[in-house]
Amino acid sequence: MGGRLPAVLLGLWLVATLALGIAPYDRNDWLLENALVVLLLAVLLASHRQRPLSNLACVALFAFLLLHEVGAHYTYSQVPWMQWCRR
């Protein structure tokens, strides 16, 4: 992970996770789904010197994890995609 981009993306993801952690649809599901993400990030941070990710990989992972957080907040079946698209 070279440069500041990974740290900036991690910070943005943490802010989004904290915001989406406020009153999720189902707190137990939210905690369970985020436990796996925290484990993934711990592995990535622990191995970043031996196996650094490219900036493109960091952006792709950030986008995936951000969508995952939205899904975890609402539970995937309750995400109001159609209401958002109508706006």
pLDDT in tens, 13-52: 999 999 999 999 999 999 999 999 999 999 999 998 899 9
Range of the domain at 49: 5-74
* Structural domain includes residue 61: yes
What phi-psi label fits residue 79: left (phi over 0), alpha (psi between -120 and 50 degrees) or beta?
beta
Residue 84: inside a domain? no
How far, in Å, CA of 13 to CA of 8, rounded? 9
User: Taking Cα atoms as reference points, which of 24, 16, 27, 28 lies closest to residue 64?
Assistant: 16
What length is written for the chain? 87
Are 59 and 6 contacting, i.e. CB atoms less than 8 angstroms apart? no
pLDDT at residue 1 in the model: 42
Residue 52 resides in a domain: yes
pTM over the 0.75 mark? yes
Q: How confident is the model at residue 76 (pLDDT cuts 50, 70, 90)?
A: confident
- Is 30 part of a structural domain of the chain? yes
